[in-house]
Each structure stands twice: as C-alpha cells, then as structure tokens.
Structure 1
C-alpha cells in the first residue's frame, strides 16, 4: 500500500537495508507465532519461558532511528 503525502512522497525502490529488515521481521514473526502456538497448546510455562528468553541474546535495533540495542523484558 502506497501513501503519498507532501511530506513523504511514494517511491518505487528498495533501500539497501530493506532486505535485511524484511528478513529480520520475518524471523521475529515466526518466533512470535511459535510462542503463540505453544500458549494455545497449553505447553508448560518453563518451555514457553525458555522460548521467549532464547531471543534475549539477540541484539535488537530500531529500524527508523538506529537506537542502541536494548535487552528484551524479563519473563
């Protein structure tokens, strides 16, 4: 979906960082879907906590402002 405004005109190109950002978001989406699936299957809380804490060691960065990485909240 394109939204063309005077402040942000639409464009038909990818920035060099887009493929990496898309890949990262797809991996995060897959992880989130797996955790949701575990909750729906009434998996043991320790298994769910382990699945969530697995991501703690992976650095996160903001797409828009390049802010420094922050740890995920504790479970």
Structure 2
C-alpha cells in the first residue's frame, strides 16, 4: 500500500506542542475550536496525531515562500 503522507505533493504535517499552540492562539486571539478542522483519519496526518491535537501544515507558497496553516484534529 502507498503511504500518502510521504508523497512529494503532500505538505509537511506535524503535531504542535501545547506551549507553541497556546502562543499561536493568543497571538490571533482565537480558541482552539476556531481553527480549521482536519479529520483524524486523513491519510496525511502523522501516526501520533490524536483527536484534539493541533497540526501544523507547512506548504510552499509563490508569494510568501512558505505558508503555515494550523488545523484541529476532529473525530
């Protein structure tokens, strides 16, 4: 079976540490539940991702070199 998370077109997905996500949420003055969602069974998620974790997705960007997106893992 093919591991989709290792495909060259899938951006890097990592679980964010709690202290880092607290700083991000404070910076944007939002709650964890205000983040965009990602399903726990998404094949691009790291194996250690659990419901309630926040995932950082780093994508290449033509205008900003790289774009960082945060998503909340949901059931």
Q: Which has the higher helix share?
A: 1
TM range, normalised to the smaller chain?
Answer: under 0.3
Q: Which has the higher strand share?
A: 2
Structure number with bigger Rg: 1
TM normalised by structure 1 equals: 0.28
Q: Using CA pairs under 8 Å that are at least 6 residues apart, name the structure with larger relative contact order, 1 or 2.
A: 2
